[in-house]
Amino acid sequence: MMFDGLDVERVDAGMALKASAADLQCSIVEEVDTGDPWRYSAEVQDGATCGARASYKHIRKSGLHY
């Protein structure tokens, strides 16, 4: 299973990682076969921050490379 070994909890829309800083619960409204990979469009139903966890920040010196 995709979530084996991860610390997850059940939410209304499926599963959420317990270690995340926030989560969005979405409903898929469109699936498009673009070859590989599939493209999904979703509508956000709910979301929440998860306690006082800090979010990740990545600051680049230049937008020309990662």
What is the pLDDT tens value at each position of the chain, 66 positions in all?
567 888 888 888 788 888 888 888 888 999 999 988 889 999 999 888 877 777 777 787 877 766
3-state secondary structure of 55: coil
pTM: 0.56
pLDDT of residue 21: 83
pLDDT of residue 65: 67
**First and final CA of the chain: distance in angstroms?**
32
What six digits make up the tokens of 52?
A: 């006082």
> Contact, 43 vs 29, CB < 8 A?
yes
pLDDT of residue 31: 95
> Contact, 8 vs 41, CB < 8 A?
no
Residue with tokens 């610390």: 7
